[in-house]
Chains A and B, each alone.
Chain A
Amino acid sequence: MKSALPVVFWITFLFYSLTFIFTLLRKKKAEAISSAAGLISNISGLIMLVLLSGHAPVFRLFESFMLGAFFLAIMGVLFTSQEKKLPDVRFWVWLEMMLLMGITALANKEPAPFAYDYNDLYIVFFHFLRIAVVAITLFSSALYIQSRFDNKRGDSIAVYRAHQGRNFLILGALLFLTAEYVGIRWCLRGWGDFWQWGPGFFQSTIIVLLFMLAVHVPGSNHGQGKWRPRLGIICGFLILGLIAYRSTL
C-alpha cells in the first residue's frame, strides 16, 4: 500500500489540475466532476496515510499538506461558485491549490513514522489546527485578491468580498490562537514552561503579529492601495510558507 501513496497523490494532483483548467474554461459540469474526483482521491490518500502510519496525518509536510488540500478543496466547493467573469474566487482557490500541491509534490511521499508521542491529543490537535489555519487563510487570501479585482472593475461586491475575507482571516486567527493555546499546554507538560526562546516560538509569534497587523492597519478592508487587504492577501501565503518550512525541520 505504501508504494501506492505517490500514485494516489499524483491522481489527486491531476484531478485538482483538471478542476483548475475547467474553471478557466468555464465548464461547470466538468469542473464539478473533476473536483469531486479530486476530493475522493484526496480522502483516499488520507485514509491510506492513517492506515499505514496508525496516526493522524498531521505531522510531516506530505501528510499535513494533503490534509490542507482537502480542507481548501472543501471550502472551494462549498463556499464559491463559477461566476460570469474570470477571475472569480473559485479561480484563485484552485490556483492556490496548484501551489499547495506543487509544494507537496516536492516532499517525500510517505507517512511520518509513529513517534512515541504522536497519539497525544494535544500534539495531534495542535498540528491539526495549524493545517486548518493554512487552508482557511489561503481561502481568505483568495477572497481578498478577488475583492481587489472587483474593486478595479467598479463592482460593488468588492466590499462584501473583502468583508468575507476579513471573516475567514479572523477565523484563521481564532484557530491559530487555539492551536497556540494547545501548544502552550503541550509545552508545559513536556518542558515545564509555556514559552521557549527559539525559532519555532518566534515564527508562531510572527504569524500572530501578522494577523494582528492585518486587522489593525488603518483603512477599509477593500480599498485600492490600502494595506489591510494587502496584508489579508499576504497572510495566507506567509503562513503557508512558514508552516511548510517548519514541517521540513
Chain B
Amino acid sequence: MSRVTEHLSSLSFATWTLVALFFWFVFGTVLCANQDFLTSFREMNSALTRDWLLDQGQGSTFLKAWFVGLCLIMIVMGVNLVFCSSNRILKIMRHRFSGAKLFMLIVHVIFGLVALGHLGGFMLGYKYDDVGLKKGGIFSFEDDLQLEVMDVHFVDDMQVLKKSRRDIMKDEFHHKDNFVEVALQKAGQVLVQDRIYLLEPIHHKDIQITLKRFLPPDADAASPTNGMPGVMVAIACNPVLKAFLLIYPLMILGIGVHMVMTWQRPEKENSNGREI
C-alpha cells in the first residue's frame, strides 16, 4: 500500500475530517442565530436542495457556499471510508476472522450508505414544501400529476389556526376529526384518494403527501370558500427513502451487536486506536 493510500485510510485522517465536519455544523448553528440566515435556511427547506442550489435567483450565495463546503467534506470522508473499509476487508481476509471487526466493518459500510441516503434525499426526486390549497384547489406538478383537495373537515374553533403548531393544545384540536380529503390524479385518472391528517400522510409509490397545517379562512367574504380553512401540504418524492429507512436501523443494530461483543473485552494498549 502506498503512503498516500495509507494516509487516506488512516484513523487520524478520519479524525481530522470529523473535526472539520463538526466545526462546519457549529458554524451552521452560529449562522442560524442570525435572523437573515435562519430565513435563508428555511428557504432551503421549501424545495429540494438540488433545486435550491441550482436556482440562481433563489437562496443566499453564502449558504450555497456553506452547503458546497459541507458536500466537499463529506466527499473527503467518503474517500477515507472507502480506503479504510477496503483495508479492513483485506486484513480480515488475510488474518484470523474476528466477529467484532467484521461487524465494525459492516457498520462503516452501512454508515456510508446512510450518508448516501441523505445525499439522495437532497438531490433526487422532487419536493414542494408549502403548497397552500383550499377546497377544490388543484396543484399540478411533475409527470402530469395533480393533487386536488376534495374536502376540508375542520371541527374546532378557527382561532386555534392562528397559533403556531407547537402551541396548539390537545383540547383545542381534535386530531381524528380534522382532516383533508385529497386525490392524486394523472391525466384525469385518480391514482389515490384518501384522507390526510396531521402526522398521517398518504403515499403513492415514492410520492408522499403530507398535511403540514390548516390555514385560517379567508377574510374575503366573496370567496366561495369563505369560512372554510385552507391547508398547507408538502408533496415529496424521494426514490431512496424506503432504502434509507431500512438501512438506518441496520446501522444501529450493527453498532449494538458490536457493543455487546466488545462489552467485556479489556481494552488493548493500542497506540493507533484501531479498536473502539
Interface on A for B, CB 8 Å cutoff? 54, 113-120, 159-160, 162-163, 166-167, 170-171, 173-174, 177-178, 181, 184-186, 188-199, 202-203, 205-206, 209-210, 212-213, 215-222, 228
Contact = CB atoms under 8 A, between A and B. Distances in A.
Interface in B156-206: 166-173, 175, 198-201
Contact of B210 (A178, A190, A197): A190
A216 B276 contact: yes
Nearest to B20: A209
B236 A167 contact: no
Given A189-B200, A193-B234, 16 more contacts: A114-B170, A171-B259, A181-B249, A191-B234, A192-B127, A192-B234, A192-B236, A193-B121, A194-B121, A196-B45, A197-B45, A197-B49, A205-B25, A209-B22, A218-B273, A219-B273
A148 B276 CA distance: 18
Contacts of B267: 159, 162-163, 166, 220-222
15 contacts: A116-B172, A159-B267, A170-B259, A177-B255, A181-B249, A181-B252, A189-B201, A191-B45, A192-B208, A193-B238, A195-B122, A196-B45, A198-B41, A198-B45, A212-B18
A172 to B, nearest CB: 11
A216 B210 contact: no
A48 to B, nearest CB: 19
Interface residues of B, number: 69
Contact of A209 (B21, B49, B168, B241): B21
Contact of B41 (A159, A197, A217): A197
Nearest to B174: A116
Contacts of B33: 199
Contact of B18 (A54, A115, A117, A213): A213
